Amino acid sequence: MKKTWSAWRYLWKSEDIRRMLLMSLLLLVIYRLVANIPTPGINSEALQAIRDQLASTGGNFFGFLDLLSGGTVSRFSLLSMGVYPYITAQIIIQLLIPIIPALQRRMEENPSEGRKMMEKWTYYLTVPMAALSAVGQINIFNSMGGGLKVLDFGLTGDRLLPSLAALLSMIAGTMFAIWLGELISEYGIRGQGLSLVIFSGIVAAMPRNIIAIMADENSRWIMLSLMIVIILLTIFAIVYVQQGRRHVPVMYPGRRIGNRMSMPVKATLPLMVNMSGMIPLIFAGAILQFPAILSSWFINSKTVWVASFAQSVQNTFNGNSIWYGLMYFFMVVIFTFFYTDVLFSQQNYGENLKKVGAQIPGVNRGGPTQKYLTKVQRRITFPGALFLGIVAILPYLLTELLKVIGIGGTSSSAGLFLVSASGLLIVVGVVRDTFATIDAELKLHGYQDSILVR
């Protein structure tokens, strides 16, 4: 522990690391300040009415949106979509690589150029994704206003210019958030920009949730104690699963030293239980948002059955129905397997081990090795996928638990626990990655004491 604290002292002793941390903090402060700027043309009275409605009835759908946007959805700010459209576009591009042979060949032939191409097309795809999300968000909020519209949106007549101003402002806000994240990755904590942007929003929302719990005089201490217990258990489970590895034995060939060969080297190849991280949660949530976004276009239709069907779809996918919870669970599990397969196939361990002459005992090199490792990876992914599925539906499980024990029992209470489930998965992952990055920087600058507790 003494070494740990002495390593923290090095954070300010090294000028480069100190500048890196201060730059990251400054950019995050700028992000949080801009997050409070409202979208132009928004009706504040309608927005306040919707916030009061969500506070009384809950809404895990909007809780999830608020989570990813950093608490800006409920304020309808310029950054109300956060970096979420970029993440969705990034996932879609990654999933297209194994599906389109030309893209896969380009990635294999020239990985650096392939990554640049992926990055360019991710930016291109982000703009229409942001526009679609912005229009859907406006329509959904308008349908919840009870006669009051958050924004009188339309692309005809007098509504054209105000609607375009709001739409372009929200798209620009998303691109600004992405730009800040990339500045953090370049000049601050390397590679953690977008993650820290999401992290800052989640952390900023926690005090508000605690205040909401303490406002209930009848069950404040029970709810607070229950939340603390669930947070601690969730953190323990997340760290335990994220640390899970299956060490596959690998034999590396000996080296020639002078006129003799050294003995083969025994090593292991660690395969992660949860290789996909939080991506399946985000992607499954994105897919389940589309029905609600699309139905918002038809909810005011003059055709009765169309409007009724659109309303039922929106009620189903608003995050409070049990069918939504079940679909969310199964989609998270399915996407965990799918995304892990995509990442694992891109790493191509079979060919890489063959190139260095390494071999798994009892398995032929090349294709058979890749097939064997894929089988092992899928087997250990199963508990990781179930874990992510449980994390995804934890708010629904907590709702039922609260009803059984007679405390709270509202969907709004479950919405508070959304931060301790999906949010904590992101928070713990970002904290661990950030510590690992700082630890690497300390060692790079010659400070051998690690800030990580071994």
Residue-wise pLDDT for 188-211, tens only, equals: 887 777 888 888 877 777 777 777
Going by pLDDT thresholds of 50, 70 and 90, the confidence category of residue 69 is low
68: amino acid identity, one letter: L
Report the pLDDT value the prediction gives residue 57, as an integer from 0 to 100: 52
Question: Do the Cβ atoms of 252 and 352 come closer than 8 Å?
Answer: no
Q: Please state, in angstroms and rounded to a whole number, the distance separating the CA atoms of residues 302 and 305.
A: 9
Report the pLDDT value the prediction gives residue 258, as an integer from 0 to 100: 61
Chain length of the chain: 454
Report the pLDDT value the prediction gives residue 70, as an integer from 0 to 100: 57
Report the pLDDT value the prediction gives residue 176, as an integer from 0 to 100: 92
The more confidently predicted of residues 124 and 151 is 124
Dig out the tokens for 399 from the structure: 């709702």
Residue with tokens 């390397």: 190
Report the pLDDT value the prediction gives residue 175, as an integer from 0 to 100: 92
pLDDT digits (tens, 9 = 90+) for 262-308: 677 788 888 888 887 777 877 777 777 777 777 777 776 777 787 78
Question: Do the Cβ atoms of 80 and 174 come closer than 8 Å?
Answer: no
Going by pLDDT thresholds of 50, 70 and 90, the confidence category of residue 412 is very low
Going by pLDDT thresholds of 50, 70 and 90, the confidence category of residue 172 is very high
Report the pLDDT value the prediction gives residue 127, as an integer from 0 to 100: 92
Report the pLDDT value the prediction gives residue 168, as an integer from 0 to 100: 92
End-to-end CA distance of the chain: 10
Share of the chain above pLDDT 70, in %: 79
Dig out the tokens for 66 from the structure: 């608020």
Kindly report each contact of residues 103-107 with a partner whose C-beta sits within 8 Å and lies 24 or more positions away, as own/partner: 107/346
In the DSSP assignment, the letter for residue 157 is: G
pLDDT digits (tens, 9 = 90+) for 372-393: 888 999 899 988 888 888 887 7
Q: Please state, in angstroms and rounded to a whole number, the distance separating the CA atoms of residues 257 and 260.
A: 6
Question: Do the Cβ atoms of 403 and 409 come closer than 8 Å?
Answer: yes
Q: Please state, in angstroms and rounded to a whole number, the distance separating the CA atoms of residues 388 and 184.
A: 28
Q: How many CB atoms lie within 10 A of CB 119?
A: 11
152: amino acid identity, one letter: D
Question: Do the Cβ atoms of 27 and 180 come closer than 8 Å?
Answer: yes
With 50 as the cut, is the pLDDT of residue 1 above it?
no
Considering the domain 2-444, what is its CATH architecture? Orthogonal Bundle (1.10)
Q: At what angle do helices 220-243 and 193-214 cross, to 10 degrees?
A: 160
Q: Please state, in angstroms and rounded to a whole number, the distance separating the CA atoms of residues 163 and 157.
A: 10
In angstroms and rounded to an integer, the radius of gyration of the C-alpha atoms of the chain is: 24
The listed range with the strongest mean pLDDT (86-100, 160-174, 418-432) is: 160-174
